[in-house]
Chain A
Amino acid sequence: MAVEILKEKYRSQVREVVLGATSAEGGTRSHTIKVGGEAALPFLHFEGETPNRPVVAMEVWDIVPEDWPASLKAYFEDVYHDPAAWAKKCVEVYGADLIALRFKSADPDIKDSSAEDCIATLKKVLAAVGVPLIVYGCGKADKDNTIMGPLAEAAEGENLLLGVAEAENYKAVASAAMAYKHSIIAQSPIDINIAKQLNILISEMSTPLLDRIVIDPTIAALGYGLEYSYSIMERARFGALNGDRMLAMPMIGNVGNEVWVKKEASISAEEQPGWGDQAERSMAWEATTAMALLQAGMDILVMRHPRAVELIKEAIDDLMQDNSY
């Protein structure tokens, strides 16, 4: 008797979001990148299509990242004084699919850079690489609200992925995305109800923005609550596949940002002999965190360590192999 294979049937699929714009589309990128579109749980190709592979963005700061461990900084020593050269190295040497440019210098407690300073850097990075860009502020909402509009205007038509809109502060970024044709990161604090509500609030400003939202569900590093992120992402994805259009967006995670501030990433083997070599351990910490998130449905992984990036890109190659039957 023939065995009937049980396959889960889903009603719906994740929206597709395009990042970047070529000259034909009003930008200057050499190519665009599509994310999302999944019609099944991650990599279950036998149940539904995964039309676009997950992508890896590498982080570039507009200041020297003093607090990164030396073992990580070593990979960027020749370029981290120059964001354009740094971005170029990430793309050309380390194979980054995208660049996530973080305007750390705008932080009032660091350098309090003006919007004009940030625009100059953004233009240099846009000129240095052809890949689509993700743009983050310094993380302090009051300041970020003053630079995001001008940055969006200066790069009108580039279809940047602008971060971040939050439930308490989404109007400035959403308006900038709307006015100058960019996409937007909607960030919620490991809370699926807020993630959904934020998407509704953004769509009330502009319905077409619904197809330009990427959800940042807020992720945690391995050992710091990764399980919570995982289950939130899984629930959102089940919702999307079962027809919840307000959660049917691709997802992005700030892997490097979470992992590299944890003590496991920086404490030396002399201090903690049981933990093993710091350089190897910290890289593995980032790769392992990213790997788990990939399995939960992450579409864009923002990472730092070139070797971790390489491992994850290899894993994506394997996971994207067709296993349908």
Chain B
Amino acid sequence: MIIIGERINGMFRDIANAIRERNPGPVQEWARKQEAMGAGYLDLNVGPAVADRVSAMKWLVEVTQEVTKLPLCLDSTDYDAIEAGLEVCKNPAMINSVPAVQEKMDRVFAMAAKYGAEVIGLAMNEAGIPKDAESRVALAMELVANCDAHGIPLDKLYIDPLALPANVGQAHGPEVFETLRQIKLLSDPPPKTTVGLSNISQGTKNRELLNRTFAVMAMACGLDSAICDACDEELVAAIATARILLNMDIYCDSYVDVFKNQNK
């Protein structure tokens, strides 16, 4: 499973301050730290409080790629901000995200085709997040069809079945796992999958334990990536271990270190 490091996000105070003051220090420090822990992508989110999201996203992209070659995952509901970021990305990036809403898909997939970007598609629409796996898969199919219509290879589409916090949306858990399994049957090559991992533990007391347990269970159902805390040692160790048990990496005694050092 690929880790998309979640830490460069304006929801965190240090990043919000850094964006406001245009101080690259904290952004670059978190970029380096997450890369050193084995992150494969870095999520960039300017946060809710920023006045000019377009220039903020552009700035985040520029300062982040000064210190890392990792691909970036541009995270915003403001597609102008995402497009501004894509324009300055040196490597193909990932767009985070688009729901199965027609006019949004039209804009995002056209943009992805233009910039060679990958796309995170959310299994939700105007009506919100579906309750069961069947409806999630139906929305996933709409995302697949729209992605394909723009000539984008389907393995550049990451579908997020949307996991809800365990304390409020417990019934969604099995539906999410079932959705992950079924997404792999939608096309050949199948789309990839992702989740916002920390969401599963929002407002709970055992956040890390819930996150890593969900991660390994979802990996067994075919989860390819997650937006998560790359600096959670136990989570990274659990992911590395699940990769061994799923025969995705070749075992050796130091397999956790090998996973963490894969970017070096």
Contacts and interface: CB of A to CB of B under 8 A. Distances in A.
B262 A193 contact: no
Contacts of B257: 200
Interface string B215-259: 000000000000000000000000000000000011111100110
Interface stretch (A136-144, A241-249, A258-266): A241-249
B254 A244 contact: no
Contacts, number: 30
Interface of A: 192-194, 196-197, 200, 207, 235-236, 239, 243-247
A276 B244 CA distance: 48
A interface majority secondary structure: helix
A192 B262 contact: no
Contacts of B262: 243, 245
A244 B250 contact: yes
Interface residues of B, number: 10
Nearest to B253: A197
Nearest to A200: B254
A246 B249 CA distance: 11
Nearest to B249: A244
Given A243-B262, A245-B262, A200 B250 contact: no
Interface of B: 249-254, 257-258, 262, 264
6 contacts: A193-B250, A193-B252, A194-B252, A200-B257, A244-B258, A245-B262
Contacts of A207: 264
B181 to A, nearest CB: 23
B39 to A, nearest CB: 15
Given A193-B253, A196-B258, A235-B250, 16 more contacts: A193-B250, A193-B252, A194-B252, A196-B250, A196-B252, A200-B257, A200-B258, A207-B264, A236-B250, A239-B249, A239-B250, A243-B262, A244-B250, A244-B258, A245-B262, A246-B258
A198 to B, nearest CB: 9
A192 B244 CA distance: 14
Contact of A247 (B250, B254, B264): B250
Nearest to A207: B264
- The 8 residue pairs across chains A and B that have the minimum distance between CB atoms: A196-B252, A197-B252, A200-B254, A239-B250, A193-B252, A193-B251, A197-B253, A246-B258
